[in-house]
Amino acid sequence: MKFYEVTDQVGGEHIWLRRIAKTYNEVPNLIWPKGKQPLIKPISLWDKILLKFSIILERVFPEIGRGLFLNFLFAFYKMPDEVTFLSTTYIPIPRGKRIIGYIHTPSRAMTVDYQFTLESHSSGNLMSKILLKLLRFSYRTVYKFSLPHAKILLTNSVNVQKRILDFVGIKSEVCYPTQDTASFYSNEPENYFLLVSKIQPYKGHDFCLRAFKIFYEKNKNFKLVIVSVTPKSKEEISYFYQLMSFVNEHGLPVEFKFDLERNAVIELYSKAYLCLFGSKNEDLGQVPLEAMASGKPIVSMKGSGPSETIVDHITGFLVEDELQMAEKLSQLVNDQSMAKQMGTNGRERVLNLFDDSRFRECLNKKLELF
């Protein structure tokens, strides 16, 4: 079995896939390396026209036009006849006879964030609204055409499974991504909360900061550590400045750490008192799993992916607003035995249900069908 990764975002999914592939003595083939042109080149006049159109679209809708080209072109690409495990983010499935497709997320801009995309990019402009609606129709058409190319279609969560079904009416099976639990460990907790997430608006850093502000008004003994990759896009940089403005305005003890090595992030997990997660409409969320693997309680937004991994009041808390999050932070700080027990429960849950061995069991069962 060969492993392929189709993405322009080398993040948590990339690390996970390389680890899984290694257990099969394979190294994933990266179809679209970050920062480079796609390995799939325009091969016809139509492809070249589409690429030009995508470049124009990208100027109007940053990061959407490029995706349009890859979506259309890759849907017609022919994979080798060998058994292929294809891990993809928002990009559809190519043609092939023996493909196991694994979808981490359909296009957020065209599904759960479509209304936000429409409002933020059109700004009352009728032509922009029409273009976006045509773009969404194109994505849906390509997905409907390409997803049946996979003999077995898997998703990373019930949340994503439902999104695909709602978007294109195609069924899939859930096979949760997992953790290398042996890499995580727990040390004596220090007086900081940990938030690990890319600086992007839907990740909910602003939600967590507002909750931390409420908490900090009554408890000055803790700080918040935020770990992320360096913001690069205009949207990410603008969002980061908003966060910094809020931190400075309220004098909050918040420390940002960028581009840390994996071992350094794991060490931060090990010493954190607890972990926060504020992402909205998250596909699944690796951070809650990493926090629980580290034996730490996790306080997260309720709904979507985290509700599939976090057991409310057992491994952490699921909250609906900033006030609830602040209350749960105070509750865990004031009850150290509860915080420790939740951390223990979380570690046990990940070992039993989300260890890498569980994903291999799921994948091996699917391989028996070939």
pLDDT confidence of residue 51: 59
Q: Report DSSP state, residue 178.
A: -
Q: CB–CB of 40/47 below 8 Å?
A: no
Q: CB–CB of 95/77 below 8 Å?
A: yes
Q: For the stretch 239-276, what's the b/e string if a residue is b when 16 or more beta carbons lie within 10 angstroms of its beta carbon? A: bbeebeebbeeeeeebebeeeeeeeeebebbbbbbbbb
Does 321 have pLDDT greater than 90? yes
Mean pLDDT of 1-21: 81
Contacts of 45 (CB under 8 A, 6+ apart): none
Contacts of 124 (CB under 8 A, 6+ apart): none
Q: Tokens 């042996």 label which residue?
A: 182
Q: Do domains 2-178+357-367 and 181-354 have the same CATH topology?
A: yes
Residue ranges of the domains in the chain?
2-178+357-367, 181-354
Mean pLDDT of 199-213: 95
Helix (H) or strand (E) holding 78: none
Comparing CA positions, the residue from 173, 229, 117, 185 lying closest to residue 365 is 173
Task: Give the model's confidence band at 148: pLDDT under 50 very low, under 70 low, under 90 confident, else very high.
Answer: very high
Q: CB–CB of 222/273 below 8 Å?
A: yes
What does each C-alpha distance from 171 to 148, 227, 277, 279 come to in angstroms?
10, 36, 29, 25
What does each C-alpha distance from 216 to 213, 242, 259, 287, 344 come to in angstroms?
5, 19, 27, 23, 26
Mean pLDDT of 344-355: 97
Mean pLDDT of 75-96: 83
pLDDT confidence of residue 35: 42
Q: What is the mean pLDDT of the chain?
A: 88
Does 193 have pLDDT greater than 80? yes
Report whether CATH 3.40.190.10 matches the domain 181-354. Answer: no
pTM of this structure = 0.88
pLDDT confidence of residue 295: 98
Does 82 have pLDDT greater than 80? yes
Report whether CATH 3.40.50 matches the domain 2-178+357-367. Answer: yes
Strands 223-228 and 192-196: parallel
User: Phi-psi region for residue 63, left (φ > 0), alpha (ψ -120 to 50) or beta?
Assistant: left
pLDDT in tens, 225-264: 999 999 988 889 999 999 999 999 999 999 999 999 999 9
Q: Per the structure block, which two tokens stand in for 71?
A: 């979506």
Strands 274-277 and 192-196: parallel
Does 337 have pLDDT greater than 90? yes
pLDDT confidence of residue 133: 86
Mean pLDDT of 327-356: 97
Mean pLDDT of 129-146: 85
